[in-house]
Structure 1
Amino acid sequence: MSIKKRLIFSNIAMIIIPIVFFFFIEIIGGFVLFYLFNGEPEGKQLNMFLTYRFIGLLLVLVITNGLLTYFVSKSIINPVKNLSVAAQEISEGNLDFSIESTNKDELGQLSKTFEVMRLKLKEAEEVHVRYEENRKELIATISHDLKTPMTSIKGYVKGIRDGVANNPEKMERYMDTIYTKANDMDQLIDELFLYSKLDLQRIPFQLEEIDLHNYLTDFIEELRFDLEQNGGTVSYDADLEDSYVVKADREKLKRVVTNIVQNSLKYMDKDWKEIQVSLQSESDQVVVKITDNGSGVDEEAIPFIFESFYRTDSSRNSTTGGSGLGLAIVKRIIDDHGGAIWAESELGEGTSIYFTLKKPVDEKVR
């Protein structure tokens, strides 16, 4: 029962109960005094009856008012006290303090809302802790990834200055190594810069209508050439009778597909590398699926692979190194397009990454 109804009923009861008892006292008192004891309804006996009736009515009013006020206020004050204690505990950082309520009134609903808030705060705190841990790991790993090539560059430059590269072939090898190391550093810094700008929403999106079928066909041709040179292949599947026109930023979309493919190739553990790309047209969106035959991702790790700085392996080496921002950048771009992204994976078999892009309004009504 709601608090409003409870207060209305208590007020009505404060009127009805005294009236009922008034008639009860009137009838019973009169019956006892004037019938059983053969009293006379006049004089002292009448005055005594009126006095007792008044006292009885006063007692009924006091008891009724007191009991109703006590129980109604208790049903309101106790939940408020519990909420106050819970608020105090949460303000002191105790997010494990749970509050339960079986009431079906406004305070019961408030308690449930408060509990939902507590759970969300706890979840946010856990995410924040995990983010801080990943951020600390990022600082350590980025420092490592920047220091390692910088050390190599300094070593090769010193070799050139000391005359170690004393022939054209050795000089060319030294210069190629310096260029490669510098390029790796530049890519790492570029990735960090891009993510920070996306995170701050400082990159404008130039949305236009893009036919994903034609767009991916060109991209896959380039990818197929690179994979065939390194013992792999790429396949593409799309129903040509469907429409795959979406609203997207061409450059950002290229970054999405490139990051997903690069992430897949990074964790390829098969001699023969396979990338499969497919399109599925739905009423208001297009679903893109990119599948690899890599090492796969543990089921417990799948929900976190799109988080900032997350890496499925904790080791740092030249094969699987990276900032851990590749898929986080992908998710940020897809989110800013109003789409969704998720992954499915099986250890030892491979990983499939899906993302959606919205169709233009005129395409939806076709």
Structure 2
Amino acid sequence: MRGRLKTWPRHWVWWAFGLVVAFLLAQVSWWLAFQRNYIQQNIEYAETAWLQEAALVQQLWAATAPEKRSALLAELKAAFPHLEVEGERVYVNPERLAAYRAEQMRHLRMFAFEGPVFLLVMLLGLYIIGRSLRSEQEYKRRQQNLLLAATHEFRTPISTLRLLTQTLELRELPREKALAYLAHMTQEIARLEDLTERLLTTSRLAQGLGQVKPERLELNRLTGLCLARQQSTLTARGAQLNFEPAPHPLPVKLDPEAFGLVFSNLLDNAVKYTPAPEKPIWVRLRLEKDQAVLEVEDRGVGLPKGEIPQLFEPFYRVGDEQIRRTRGLGLGLYLVKSITELMGGRVRAEALPKGSRFTLSFPLAETERRPV
């Protein structure tokens, strides 16, 4: 069809890769066999030629007068260093012949070593190219999914806003109903702002423009403020928040807006991937050596252990069909990791028997570090 990108089926790609590998194996095997036969022929030719030379020199030696043999011997040693003369006998020096054979066999061993190394390097290069192409294909697939998800995510609030505004324009509504419509519109606008902010933040991080402005803050208080701002929205979505602050202050240097975005993404992730009507979420803070630790734990669908290393990649979403039906762009955890590292922290994910746990750790402010 016109305008449609045509791609090779995956099995044809693997067939082509297999043919290239088979060709390389055949080429290296043929090259090694050729070198082995060539060197063996050289050894046999040298032995035959030296024996023939010894026979000719033997005839020349026998025909030479004794008084002229000393001069002839010097010429023979210069012209045929591999021949020896003892009395009336001329023969091939066995040590010279053994040395020649050893030299040729050394060349053969060198070729036998270089051939597999060459094959290994070529296969490694093909493997790296294949992995790169596969990663690029996977990245493009995720980008395509992002475009589809973003289109859906933007279309839903825009359609809702259009419907509500048309309703307000065309109908006289009671004040309570109009205020409810306006509150709904405000929520949809906030949703659009959140989507836009995530996309812009992702773009800035991808271009290396992400910046944070750290301030000296107390993590218990900062987390409590962020939680209070989002509690009503999260409760409306079925979240049951359990906040467990640390028993002592946790002074850190963080950008409050950046931390708010990170914390919001973790809470949204916990609610989104808990399909049950009641969504218990635990937010815990503690001191661990010289680190302030924040945990967000849920009882949702959990994390496949084989996919945990990919969770923080851009546009990645866990492949379970139930999770795919949830809304999102696949950017939340990527932003969590990127922004946390910009603030000097670390993040890790852990699969629980039921649910998952995400842990953030930040170094304590220098002047407030406690002894272990």
Report what 1:342 is aligned to. Answer: 348
Give, in angstroms, the shift of residue 63 of structure 1: 10
Give, in angstroms, the shift of residue 291 of structure 1: 1.1
Q: Determine helix, strand or coil for the equivalent of 1:300.
A: helix
Report what 2:138 is aligned to. Answer: 130
**Do the aligned partners of 2:273 and 2:326 also contact (CA within 8 Å) in 1?**
yes
CA distance in 2, matches of 1:316, 1:171: 35
Residues 37-84 of structure 1 deviation map (CA, whole Å, 9 limit, x = unaligned): 9xx99622323433332233168999968974894598379738964x
Count, aligned residues: 300
Residues 253-309 of structure 1 deviation map (CA, whole Å, 9 limit, x = unaligned): 222112101210122234543222334544554433221122212333322222212
Give, in angstroms, the shift of residue 190 of structure 1: 2.1
- Once the two structures are superposed, the pairs formed by residues 27-106 of structure 1 within 5 Å of their partners are 43-57=67-81, 68=103, 71=106, 75=110, 79=114, 83=118, 99-100=119-120
Report what 1:204 is aligned to. Answer: 211
Q: Determine helix, strand or coil for the equivalent of 2:81.
A: helix
Give the letter aligned to residue 46 of structure 1: S
TM-score calculated relative to the size of structure 2? 0.64
Where does the alignment leave 5 or more consecutive residues of structure 2 unmatched? Answer: 1-53, 84-92
- Once the two structures are superposed, the pairs formed by residues 141-156 of structure 1 within 5 Å of their partners are 141-156=149-164
Name the Cα RMSD after superposition.
4.3
CA distance in 2, matches of 1:365, 1:267: 37
TM-score calculated relative to the size of structure 1? 0.64
Q: Determine helix, strand or coil for the equivalent of 1:129.
A: helix
Q: 1:354 aligns with which of 334, 359, 363?
A: 359
Q: Determine helix, strand or coil for the equivalent of 2:142.
A: helix
CA distance in 1, matches of 2:155, 2:227: 35
CA distance in 2, matches of 1:300, 1:357: 26
Residues 307-347 of structure 1 deviation map (CA, whole Å, 9 limit, x = unaligned): 21223355799x93122211111111022234332211246
Give the letter aligned to residue 208 of structure 2: Q
Give the letter aligned to residue 343 of structure 2: H
Give the letter aligned to residue 146 of structure 2: L
Report what 1:303 is aligned to. Answer: 309
CA distance in 2, matches of 1:191, 1:153: 20
Q: Determine helix, strand or coil for the equivalent of 2:210.
A: coil
Give the letter aligned to residue 145 of structure 1: E
- Once the two structures are superposed, the pairs formed by residues 98-117 of structure 1 within 5 Å of their partners are 99-100=119-120, 111=121
**Do the aligned partners of 2:240 and 2:280 also contact (CA within 8 Å) in 1?**
yes
Report what 1:257 is aligned to. Answer: 263
**Residue 195 (1) aligns with residue 219 (2):** no
CA distance in 1, matches of 2:116, 2:72: 47
Give, in angstroms, the shift of residue 354 of structure 1: 1.7
Give, in angstroms, the shift of residue 193 of structure 1: 1.4
Q: Determine helix, strand or coil for the equivalent of 1:143.
A: helix
Q: Percent identity among equivalent residues?
A: 20
